């Protein structure tokens, strides 16, 4: 294993911020795995740390295939992580909205540029991303509909779902989008935790990446190859919102099957303790996502459901 400083930012009052990459094998730039770009993405760093540990063991055993190299970048934003802040600590900007970066620009643009110069020539790019809302997902691979996405390749992760959605204007400044523009096959992997560690879904994500690397002929590794992934389109999911504010009491969890009319959640008045709203499922389906905030506002999305024809 080679430890390499990809970018360094000097500081007057703190130690210099360094983005470190851990490189395994030699030869072509086969796969790059990037963890946290935001300061609260603890789960994403944890998953990368597990991959570093396993890949180091595989390298010692000669299990990195000849002529292949893998780089893992656990964290791009250690400064914000050290103070528990999601975005860049001084101006609250999002590094994952600054790609491909600009070496003479604002601080987060320079950070994005420093990282991208080191990762833009890899054949495969894998990012452990987080959603803008607090909540839990069924672990899945997420792709944008750029015309460059490869759905069949995404199924090699063996996760239950491959999720594809339309590109929004702000997506053009993300790492995933720019990887694709620079002809890297890019994938974002989501688990059901961000600022906490879920060891079960972290293990599922680690296994998914190792399975993908094996299927691309990058490593030799015997593992459970997961599910036959199903493609779901972003517009197919049914959003369920609340009509009022209050305590959010969940009655349905991620990956549970629900029928139309089933109780998903209750909204409780914070002062009286009365149930002021009952959230019912509008369709038969599988809970793909639920919010995690204990207190929610009116018209907040609480659930996303994959509709099915199944009757439980």
In the chain, which residues fall in CATH 2.40.50.100?
237-307
* CATH class for the domain made up of 2-233: alpha beta
For residue 148, CA distances in Å to 86, 156, 169, 222, 247 come to 30, 17, 17, 30, 42
Q: Who contacts 247 (Cβ-Cβ below 8 Å, separation ≥6)?
A: 267, 268, 269, 270, 294, 295, 296
> What is the predicted pLDDT for the residue at 193?
87
**Phi, psi at residue 199, to the nearest 5°?**
-65, -30
What is the model's pLDDT at position 284? 96
Q: What is each CA distance from 27 to 53, 68, 70, 166, 182, in whole angstroms?
A: 21, 5, 9, 35, 20
β-strands 161-165, 135-137: how paired? unpaired
Residue stretches of the chain with pLDDT short of 50: none
Fold type of domain 237-307: OB fold (Dihydrolipoamide Acetyltransferase, E2P) (2.40.50)
Supply the pLDDT for residue 265. Answer: 98
Q: Give the pLDDT confidence of 89-124 residue by residue, as tens digits.
A: 889 999 999 999 999 999 999 999 999 999 999 999
Predicted confidence at residue 226, as pLDDT, reads 85
Which part of the chain has CATH 3.40.630.10?
A: 2-233
pTM of structure:
0.93
- Cα separation, 96 vs 64, in Å, equals 30
pLDDT of the residue at 300: 92
Say what the pLDDT of residue 312 is: 54
The radius of gyration of the chain from alpha carbons, rounded to an integer in Å, stands at 20
């Amino acid at each position: 294993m080679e430890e390499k400083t990809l970018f360094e930012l000097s500081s007057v009052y703190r130690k210099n911020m360094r983005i470190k990459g851990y490189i395994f094998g030699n030869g072509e730039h086969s796969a790059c795995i990037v963890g946290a770009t935001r300061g609260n993405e603890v789960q994403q760093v944890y998953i990368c740390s597990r991959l570093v540990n396993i890949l180091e063991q595989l390298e010692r055993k000669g299990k990195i295939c000849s002529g292949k190299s893998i780089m893992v970048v656990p964290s791009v934003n250690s400064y914000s992580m050290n103070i528990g802040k999601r975005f860049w600590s001084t101006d609250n900007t999002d590094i994952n909205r600054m790609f491909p970066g600009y070496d003479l620009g604002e601080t987060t643009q320079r950070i994005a540029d420093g990282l991208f110069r080191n990762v833009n020539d890899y054949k495969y790019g894998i990012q452990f991303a987080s959603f803008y809302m607090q909540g839990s997902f069924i672990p899945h691979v997420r792709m944008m509909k750029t015309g460059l996405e490869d759905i069949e390749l995404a199924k090699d992760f063996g996760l239950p779902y491959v999720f594809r959605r339309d590109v929004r204007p702000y997506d053009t400044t993300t790492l995933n989008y720019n990887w694709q523009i620079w002809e890297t096959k890019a994938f974002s992997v989501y688990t059901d935790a961000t600022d906490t560690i879920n060891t079960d879904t972290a293990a599922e994500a680690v296994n998914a990446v190792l399975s993908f690397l094996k299927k691309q002929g990058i490593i030799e590794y015997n593992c459970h190859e997961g599910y036959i992934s199903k493609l779901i389109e972003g517009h197919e999911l049914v959003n369920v919102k609340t009509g009022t504010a209050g305590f959010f009491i969940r009655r349905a969890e991620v990956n549970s099957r629900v029928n139309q009319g089933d109780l998903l959640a209750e909204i409780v008045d914070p002062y009286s303790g009365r149930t002021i709203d009952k959230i019912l499922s509008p369709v038969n389906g599988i809970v793909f996502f639920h919010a995690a905030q204990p207190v929610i506002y009116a018209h907040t999305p609480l659930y996303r459901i994959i509709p099915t024809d199944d009757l439980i």
